[in-house]
Amino acid sequence: MHDDAPKLNGLGNQEVLRKMSEIRHDTTFSIPRSEKGHIAIITCKIDIRPMNADNTFDPYVLGDADLQKYGMTNKARIVIKAPSEAECAMKVKKLMENLNG
């Protein structure tokens, strides 16, 4: 244990919780938020529909059984991790641009 670590022996529950809160506060806020690792979680609903000859959508949406034939469901989750806020945002932006063609 480090010499500068708070001593918790002999303290009551409330004191231990207060000390733990101080430790968490020190380690959590010592790095600026923008420089911490970030995660983006993108959740999508997938509708696959037939198209009519005039390029309008048919009201029918493929159901779970139809989608399972292709090894998929009607939901998707994309997780993007990056070492900083800016890099995470740029990865999300690039993904969205690539998806939208």
The pLDDT tens digits of the residues spanning 8-66 come to 455 566 676 666 666 655 555 677 887 889 999 999 999 999 999 999 999 999 999 99
Cβ–Cβ under 8 Å, residues 66 and 92: no
* pLDDT the model gives residue 23: 62
**Mean pLDDT across 67-91:** 94
The burial of 72, by beta-carbon neighbours within 10 Å (0-12 exposed, 13-18 middle, 19 or more buried), is given as middle
Answer whether residue 89 shows pLDDT above 60.
yes
What single-letter amino acid sits at 74?
A: N
CB atoms < 10 A from the CB of 67, how many? 16
Mean pLDDT of 69-90: 94
pLDDT value, residue 72:
95
pLDDT of 27: 54
The first and second tokens of residue 1, run together, are: 């244990």
Three-class DSSP category at 50? coil
Does residue 4 register a pLDDT over 60? Answer: no
